[in-house]
Amino acid sequence: MFTYTVSVTTGNQEFAGTIDYVYLTLVGTERRSDRTLLDKSFFDRFARGAVVSIDVSVKETLGDILLVKLEKEKFLFNDQWYCRCISVKTPSGYEIEFPCYRWIANKQEVVLRDGKARLPQDEKNSLLKEHRRMELESRQQLFRWKEWHPGFPMSIDADSSNELPLDIQFELDKSVDFNLNFLTA
- For residue range 142-155, list pLDDT tens digits in order: 778 888 788 888 77
Q: In what order do the strands lie in the sheet with 51-58?
A: 51-58, 2-10, 81-89, 95-104
Closest by CA to 58, choosing from 96, 97, 21, 90, is 90
Secondary structure of the chain: what % helix, strand, coil (to 5)? Answer: 20, 35, 45
H or E segment at 55?
Answer: strand 51-58
Q: How many residues does the chain have?
A: 185
Q: Judge whether residue 140 has pLDDT over 70.
A: yes
pLDDT interval class at 171 (50, 70, 90): low
Closest by CA to 3, choosing from 106, 114, 128, 88, is 88
pLDDT at 116: 86
The reply, when asked if residue 17 is annotated as ligand binding, is yes
Q: Which residues contact 37 (CB under 8 A, 6 or more apart)?
A: 21, 22, 23
Q: Judge whether residue 117 has pLDDT over 60.
A: yes
**What is the chain's alpha carbon radius of gyration, rounded to the nearest angstrom?**
19
The reply, when asked if residue 79 is annotated as ligand binding, is yes
pLDDT at 4: 92
- For residue range 119-137, list pLDDT tens digits in order: 888 888 888 889 889 888 8
pTM of the model: 0.77
- For residue range 23-79, list pLDDT tens digits in order: 899 999 899 999 988 875 555 567 777 788 888 989 988 988 999 999 887 777 667
Question: Rounded to the nearest 5 degrees, what angle is found at the Cα of 146, between the Cα atoms of 141 and 148?
Answer: 155
Q: Which residues contact 29 (CB under 8 A, 6 or more apart)?
A: 62, 63, 64, 66, 125, 127
The reply, when asked if residue 157 is annotated as ligand binding, is no
